[in-house]
Amino acid sequence: MGKAKAAEWFLTLFVSRERASAAVGDLMERRAGMWLAVTRIALSSMLHGVLDNPGALTWLAVQACVLELAYAWMGARFQMGRGASHPYFLYGYTVLVWYGLGKWVAHRAPGREMAGAAAFVLLNWTFAALMVFLLVSHRISGHIGWSFEPLCFFIAVVIARRRRMRIPAVSLCWP
């Protein structure tokens, strides 16, 4: 039963509570490959959310990228004014900015929070890949690596969706 509850909790991030319970009920009868099927349902739902209105989600992603650049510029200006930069300030500022962006995107894409989040992260990674290409092609050195920002972003989107749908956190411990 714990597996079914966890699968239902995961699916409610992408579909309504009723659809998630129906899908998990059907999958529990099948037993084999349940988590693969749950993942396929979640990705399919997210893809349909993007394809239902790609223009609006692309515009939302562009706005979020511009907002992120504005926050990055403000953070850089603040650090330059203070002299020496402290890495903890940078990490904390980054977590707060991406968490705020996640809440902002989720608020502007009700019912399609994960589709909006995916559109933003994909557009952001596209811009990052373009910047890396430009830096490498112009022989500008710098640190290029994976960062934790998308994790902060998705956590904010999940929390915002949970609050909007009034779904409690899953408890896998039974009395």
Whether residue 79 has pLDDT greater than 80: no
Nearest to 18 by CA among 170, 153, 167: 167
What's the confidence (pLDDT) of residue 137? 63
CA distances from 106 to 28, 29, 41, 44, 65 (A): 30, 33, 20, 19, 14
What CA–CA distance (Å, rounded) separates 119 from 47? 10
As a whole number, mean pLDDT of residues 109-125 equals: 85
Lowest mean pLDDT among 15-29, 114-128, 129-143: 129-143
Lowest mean pLDDT among 38-42, 88-92, 159-163: 88-92
CB 114 within 8 A of CB 159: no
6-12: long-range contacts, CB 8 A cutoff, minimum separation 24: 6/170, 6/172, 7/34, 7/35, 7/38, 9/167, 9/170, 10/38, 10/42, 11/38, 11/41, 11/42, 12/165, 12/167
Report residue 148's pLDDT band, with 50, 70 and 90 as the boundaries. Answer: low
Please state the pTM of the whole predicted model: 0.71
What's the confidence (pLDDT) of residue 150? 73
Share of the chain above pLDDT 90, in %: 2
As a whole number, mean pLDDT of residues 156-175 equals: 66
Q: Where is pLDDT greater, at 65 or 128?
A: 65
Q: Where is pLDDT greater, at 30 or 49?
A: 49
What CA–CA distance (Å, rounded) separates 87 from 89? 5
Report residue 63's pLDDT band, with 50, 70 and 90 as the boundaries. Answer: very high
Q: Where is pLDDT greater, at 103 or 32?
A: 103
Lowest mean pLDDT among 18-27, 67-76, 165-174: 165-174
What's the confidence (pLDDT) of residue 144? 45
Whether residue 172 has pLDDT greater than 50: no
Q: Where is pLDDT greater, at 148 or 94?
A: 94
Nearest to 104 by CA among 147, 71, 129: 71
